[in-house]
Amino acid sequence: MKWFVIKVVSGKEKKMKESIENLLRENKVEHIVSNLLIPSEKNIQLRRGKKVNVEKNFFPGYIFVECESISEVEANIKHINGITAILKQPLTLTEIERILGRETKKNVEENLCLNQSVKIIDGPFSTFIGTIKELDANKQKAKVCILIFGRETILDLTVSQIVREEEK
């Protein structure tokens, strides 16, 4: 299976995804598509003093489709209003892993581990050397213990703010 990109009218991604799914179901060819994806994240924002759940698309105007042949999919959905283009070039494995967020999690797990010595490269404590006490690959966070004036201090940092000590 390969991943392809369908360009749609921005802001209508959910509606277009539902239209594609319905049309494929009506034509009894839903088996040609194994996955339709709109990469997004849910955030909580304050609006007028109330917490509101907001969903933000990472790639507005794009739907990602996993299938064997995009030409079969195109033949079935090309007449749907709102689809502006279907890209025939499949995405590479690294591109789709980055889109799905797998690559960064895998890199964190491979490059960093508990009790490892790291150098802080960003923020007010840049150039300090510390030790990883906790690591959360999903949230991309690490708790690093550093010495300030002879006392241990725990810092909550993102993994982009630290590197292995030997990687200077």
User: What pLDDT was estimated at residue 6?
Assistant: 94
Note the pLDDT of residue 138: 77
Closest CA to 118 of 168, 66, 59, 54: 168
CA 141 distance to own-chain centroid = 15
> What class is the 108-164 domain?
mainly beta
Indicate the average pLDDT of the chain: 86
> In this predicted structure, what is the pLDDT of residue 39?
86
Confidence at residue 98, expressed as pLDDT on a 0 to 100 scale? 80
pTM over 0.75: no
168, pLDDT greater than 50: no
Percentage of the chain modeled with pLDDT above 90: 42
Mean of pLDDT values over 144-150: 93
Residue 159 makes CB contacts below 8 A (sequence gap 6+) with 108, 112, 140, 141, 142
pLDDT in tens, 132-141: 999 887 788 8
> What are the structural domain ranges in the chain?
2-100, 108-164
pLDDT of residue 61: 93
* CATH H superfamily, domain 2-100: NusG, N-terminal domain (3.30.70.940)
What pLDDT, on the 0 to 100 scale, is given for residue 56?
Answer: 84
User: What average pLDDT does this structure show over 108-132?
Assistant: 86
